[in-house]
Structure 1
Amino acid sequence: MPLDHSEIFAGLDPDDSNSIVKAFAANSAFRAAEWEELTTEDNPYRRPVRPDDLAWLNYSKPMPAAKALKLSALLGHRMLRNVYDSGLLYLPPTAGTAPETDGAAFYNDRNRILSALAAPVLERHLFTLLDGARKPLGSSDLTHLKREVREHHQQRLAEPGRAFTTALGTKDRKAAATFVMLQLSAFLPAARAATGRAALGEYDATHPGVRTLLLDDYRTWAGQHEEYRALLEAAELKPTAAAYWQLYLGTSLARGNHLHWLSHNREKYPEFLGAMLHHKIEEAADGPRFAEVFEDGLGLRTGLFDGLGALRESDLDALVDRLVLPLKALYGDQAVDRFHQGFADARWFAQLWDEDLTEQLLWADSIELHQRKAEALSKHIDDNRIEVDLDTFVESNEETSTTHVHNEHRLVMVERGQMHFWNNTTHKIEFNEGDKVLIPVSRLHGSTVLSGECTYHQPIIPEEMYQQF
């Protein structure tokens, strides 16, 4: 049957790029989550985006770095991952009506066309901030680049990320290790898929040996499938792609999306190679730390990182030469600058991820403390008759809020009814009438109503007041 383009382009405003993003997000596979869809272990295509929020979010212009942990970034990276993944093969573990229906929507021509239109809009919104965040190399000399790569490698080996030490210091280390595993599953397979995509093509005459290097990297990952699966099973998780979609931090998606962006846009080949090298350095440094967290919290000593993270300091200079020297003959000195750009941008996302994951782990491990803080804040507001902005919600049984973050600190105060509050696969937190909790800015969470109806309020807490408590 001929494709009906009029249906696809209906409602699109050629002068409003945001309308393209809205049309893409309207895919039925991306609809808001329902109560039974907190996880989607049998359906790799079901990826809730919270499309209703696009009524007030604007993706038509670049996002400032200050919003890199806020809602626009989270939903933007969810949508962009769906763009990239629609060009890859995913299969459900078993047959079923839901994956068949959502798979048809995920892979149909309408989604392919809207993906192609939405990709540059989302990429501009999400990645332009890197131009201002990046520290220039300062010289196009290859020796300078090698020194920076070596120094970063040494620093990462010496300084474990805060997220790992935080996970090892939590009260509920199984919950922390499970959440860390969820984040790994959000970017490790994506990074390898981006590498596999980058390998495709005929370029050996100009860049000898690198296609084999990229293919070997992807082949190594494919050969580690059983190790990866065993690690997920230790966390009582399934290996289905996007099974825990709602629990991926925006920064976890961003790390994979950055590599996808550079490999998908073929003109960014030097930048991709720089980002890939950074990813290999991160794996070499973080592999033992991931393994320690998983052994401590899940009781499994995994060998997954033994092969994936193989990178010796003595090999770094030779690897940089192998990746960059042939490109210098093609692009001149800008090859060094472009390679460094990819390297520096990947480092920025990795640092942001460490900060984001650290704060999420700390908050999730101290919900009782944040309940007490909420009580104190509420009393402070009432006693001093302070007026704050307030959102009120009245929701019915099983109404579900797809996981999200807030752009400001908020209290959740249940006036009537019951709800489940959740931020991990390990457990849900029950809130009843009168219960309160403080949700700091950018902390990922969702909720489901348990009673026939639930009324709850969300006072917005100014930064100055938040710091007092």
Structure 2
Amino acid sequence: MSSQTTASRNPVLADLGLDPHDENAVVKAFAANSAFRAADWEELTTEDNPYRRPVRPDDLAWLNYARPMPAAKSLKLSALLGHRMLRNVYDAELLYLPPALGGPGDKDGAAFYCERNRVLGALAGPILERHLFAPLDETLGAPEAVAPDTFRQEVRAHHEHRLAEPGLAHIAALSTTDRKASATFFLLQLSAFLPAARAAAGRAALGEFDAAHPDGRGYLLDEYRTWVGAHDSYRTLLAGADLKPAAAAYWQLYLGSSLGRGNHLHHLSRTREKYPEFLGALLHHTLDQSVEAGRYTQVIEDGLGLHTDLFARLAPATADGTSSATALSAVGDLTDRLLATVHGYFGAEGVGRMRRGFAEARWFAELWDEDLAKQLAWADTIPEHQEKAARIDAYLKENNIEVDLDTFVESHEETSTTHVHNEHRLVMVERGQMHFWNNVTHKIELHEGDKVLIPVTRLHGSTVLSGECTYHQPIIPEEMYQRF
């Protein structure tokens, strides 16, 4: 059925007046939902409103989602905003309830679940998926048929490697000066994808396929039941960090890579023809939790002084109180269990597709690990980046070097929804004051003459404190950035 025929039969589509050939227009229309509007100063967190999810829709005027995203841009602005929008597409298919009726979420909830949003989400979802998941084809290539033993050996080798070497984010979190801030931000990122991963498993369990894959549905339901059973531990852990478990409560502080990990699993779980790929991705997620459970626990205990059993409960076997051999055995048993039925039904081609899903999830996990490590290191060294900004500014002036420059004049309480830049930038306050922020733990005050260096792809936002604030953002070339 053509887009025009569909539009003529659906009153929502007919009222949109969209060009069916302009895919960017569809994405913009979806982002124009009032629940996704840019943030106000009092909306830095949205703990009582699971539907309030700022997207920065104005930026879509110059971003192009109609073409695939190169892997080199996987942490840049189109990826961050794209994963925000795609999570909204997926979550509009699930049930979220506000803490209480009659609160701030009522109006946004109506917009979030309205027919117009569902229709636009159905249209925008495939466009966003093609854009955001293009790096997987670029870096991994097409899946190939493979023997079960080959894939089994690859999983074990990867598992042994992960057990032997801590991730970059784990090392960064334990190396920062402000461990509380680092552990809090680390926990926020986990809240962006751990619940989504288990919701994706629950979604994938829906259907009648026991005859074809008798072990599949039980495994997927067990994954979701594990999350439901651990929810009290999850809520207690967040409460100990003065956080709330509401969906999207800290939306503006989720890294694009954190949203991406959950979105990838959602994408595979709802794309029913990719069942083997989903099982491979979920196998990686299980392996990842087995490896990281003790490390997550260490970061939380070190930075927040909280003791939690959450991560041990979510892992089949962990390094926390058990041996590496036990962890390897548990993941190995799961690998055998899934391989037996995938190979039995889909053959070697199905095993190759399962292997591809595993590789995709691994790609997202490694992207996240690097992204989070860099964010933690930068946020912990803001004074150093203020000093670097002053040195760069002095160097530009002394050598009469002109660089591209953006200037902003903003009024009291005007807020910049959190974002990343596609290049290195300085923030230089000429007149007025602003709050600069990158965590829930504290804000950084910038006054007249203050400067800070923001490296490419680092998440941040700001709010004007004075009646008016004028600030500049010189764009710093890579070569100059490396010099300083």
**Shorter-normalised TM range:** over 0.9
TM superposition shift of 1:113: 0.6
TM superposition shift of 1:281: 0.4
SS of structure 2 residue aligned to 1:333: helix
- Given the alignment of the two structures, is residue 342 of structure 1 paired with residue 357 of structure 2, yes or no? yes
Q: Which residue of 1 aligns with 2:441?
A: 426
- Given the alignment of the two structures, is residue 366 of structure 1 paired with residue 381 of structure 2, yes or no? yes
Matched residue type, 2:155:
V
- Given the alignment of the two structures, is residue 304 of structure 1 paired with residue 337 of structure 2, yes or no? no
Preserved CA contact (<8 Å) 1:8 1:110: no
Q: Which residue of 2 aligns with 1:180?
A: 186
What are the superposed Cα offsets for residues 354-399 of structure 1, whole Å, 9 maximum, x if unpaired? 0000000000000000000000000000000001000000000000
Q: Which residue of 2 aligns with 1:88?
A: 94
TM superposition shift of 1:4: 7.2
Aligned equivalents of 1:156, 1:355: Cα separation in 2: 15
Matched residue type, 1:236:
D
Q: Pick one of 475, 478, 481 that aligns with 1:460.
A: 475
Aligned equivalents of 1:188, 1:209: Cα separation in 2: 23
Matched residue type, 1:273:
L
State the 4+ residue runs in structure 1 displaced beyond 4 angstroms. Answer: 6-9, 135-139
CA gap 1:9/1:335 in 2 versus in 1, 3 angstroms: farther
Q: Pick one of 274, 292, 296 that aligns with 1:268.
A: 274
Aligned equivalents of 2:102, 2:154: Cα separation in 1: 51
What are the superposed Cα offsets for residues 430-449 of structure 1, whole Å, 9 maximum, x if unpaired? 00000000000000000000
Preserved CA contact (<8 Å) 1:324 1:335: no
TM superposition shift of 1:94: 2.1
CA gap 1:79/1:137 in 2 versus in 1, 3 angstroms: closer
CA gap 1:274/1:126 in 2 versus in 1, 3 angstroms: same
TM superposition shift of 1:8: 6.1
SS of structure 2 residue aligned to 1:193: helix
SS of structure 2 residue aligned to 1:47: coil
Q: Which residue of 1 aligns with 2:3?
A: none
Aligned equivalents of 1:442, 1:17: Cα separation in 2: 25
Aligned equivalents of 1:136, 1:315: Cα separation in 2: 29
CA gap 1:236/1:142 in 2 versus in 1, 3 angstroms: same
Preserved CA contact (<8 Å) 2:36 2:54: yes
- Given the alignment of the two structures, is residue 31 of structure 1 paired with residue 37 of structure 2, yes or no? yes
- Given the alignment of the two structures, is residue 377 of structure 1 paired with residue 392 of structure 2, yes or no? yes
Matched residue type, 1:437:
V
Aligned equivalents of 1:261, 1:245: Cα separation in 2: 20
Preserved CA contact (<8 Å) 1:375 1:436: yes
- Given the alignment of the two structures, is residue 215 of structure 1 paired with residue 221 of structure 2, yes or no? yes
Q: Superposition pairs for residues 161-200 of structure 1, below 5 Å? A: 161-200=167-206
Q: Pick one of 111, 119, 125 that aligns with 1:113.
A: 119
Aligned equivalents of 1:209, 1:183: Cα separation in 2: 31
Preserved CA contact (<8 Å) 1:135 1:344: no
SS of structure 1 residue aligned to 2:389: helix
Q: Pick one of 51, 65, 69 that aligns with 2:71.
A: 65
SS of structure 1 residue aligned to 2:55: coil
Q: Pick one of 126, 143, 149 that aligns with 2:132.
A: 126
CA gap 1:329/1:138 in 2 versus in 1, 3 angstroms: closer
TM superposition shift of 1:413: 0.2
TM superposition shift of 1:314: 2.0
Matched residue type, 2:189:
Q
Preserved CA contact (<8 Å) 2:286 2:331: no
Aligned equivalents of 2:100, 2:439: Cα separation in 1: 25
Relative to structure 2, which stretch is displaced further, 273-282 or 86-95? 86-95
Among the aligned pairs, what percent are the same residue? 68
TM-score by length of 2: 0.94
Matched residue type, 2:397:
D
Aligned equivalents of 1:165, 1:354: Cα separation in 2: 10
TM superposition shift of 1:5: 1.9
Preserved CA contact (<8 Å) 2:148 2:343: no
Q: Which residue of 2 aligns with 1:324?
A: 339
Unmatched tracts of structure 1, length 5 or more? none
User: Over aligned residues, Cα RMSD in angstroms?
Assistant: 1.4
Aligned equivalents of 2:331, 2:51: Cα separation in 1: 39
Q: Superposition pairs for residues 408-427 of structure 1, below 5 Å? A: 408-427=423-442
What are the superposed Cα offsets for residues 205-225 of structure 1, whole Å, 9 maximum, x if unpaired? 110122111111111110111
TM superposition shift of 1:233: 1.1
Q: Pick one of 230, 238, 243 that aligns with 2:249.
A: 243
Aligned equivalents of 1:42, 1:420: Cα separation in 2: 23
TM superposition shift of 1:323: 1.5
Preserved CA contact (<8 Å) 1:137 1:145: no
- Given the alignment of the two structures, is residue 394 of structure 1 paired with residue 409 of structure 2, yes or no? yes
Q: Which residue of 1 aligns with 2:285?
A: 279
Aligned equivalents of 1:328, 1:144: Cα separation in 2: 12
TM superposition shift of 1:320: 2.4
TM superposition shift of 1:248: 0.1
Q: Which residue of 2 aligns with 1:292?
A: 298
TM-score by length of 1: 0.97
TM superposition shift of 1:191: 0.4
TM superposition shift of 1:324: 2.7
Relative to structure 2, which stretch is displaced further, 320-329 or 133-142? 133-142
What are the superposed Cα offsets for residues 62-89 of structure 1, whole Å, 9 maximum, x if unpaired? 1000000000000000000000000111
